[in-house]
Amino acid sequence: MAQQDGGKPESGFNDSTPAVQKRSKEYWVLLLLRLAAFLATASATLVMALNKQTKTLVVATIGNTPLKATLTAKFQHTPAFVFFVVANGMASVHSLTMIVVEIFGHKIDYKGLRLAIIAILDMMTVVLASAGDGAATFMAALGKNGNSHARWNKICDKFHTFCDHGSGALIASFIGLLILLIVNVISITKLHNPKSTYNAGFP
């Protein structure tokens, strides 16, 4: 109940207070980080999923006659790249879902339970994305340098475009992974104070 003659209210939030302004800033920072993570992982998914190059190569020579074959390099030929696409695709879906939760989830929050679930999902997404990045990085290094001990030839000297696009997808994915790590740290720190003003200013 407010005091008479212009007195201060006894309870309630004042949107102009520094605490609420700070909390609102934290809300927007986290929302922007999730949006950036979505854009990075979605870009990595699309670039790798559409990565394909067809080239005609000389595979043998009979006398003076070269034998040519048309070969195609695409991500489906490598299970590690398929896993990369799936992992980044799921990370993109997670980030997009969390953006919706950030905007509307406070309406169904129950004693900080939402924060715990979000923190767990964020951690699982980081693990999945890092596994996909690690597998794809290994295969990218193999494609670039080959392996003389196993007699595996490199392919990037023949499929330059395919390797360049794959490198771009890896860079975007690692940027997304870094952002997801930051988001995960923020989610975990919020568990220490479930009654914080995480949703202050957004009733």
Q: Is the pLDDT of residue 145 over 90?
A: no
Cβ pair 29, 189 in contact under 8 A: no
pLDDT band at 102 (very low <50, low <70, confident <90, very high): confident
DSSP character string of 85-127: HHHHHHHHHHHHHHHHHHHHGGGG--TTHHHHHHHHHHHHHHH
Backbone conformation region of residue 110, classed left if phi is above 0, alpha if psi is from -120 to 50, else beta: beta
8-state DSSP, 7? P
pLDDT one-digit tens code per residue, 4-60: 444 444 444 444 445 444 557 777 888 999 999 999 999 999 999 998 888 776 666
Average the pLDDT over 79-105 and give the result: 91
- The pLDDT value recorded for residue 172 is 96
For residue 82, the model assigns a pLDDT of 95
pLDDT, tens digit, 9 for 90 and up, residues 169-189 = 999 999 999 999 999 998 888
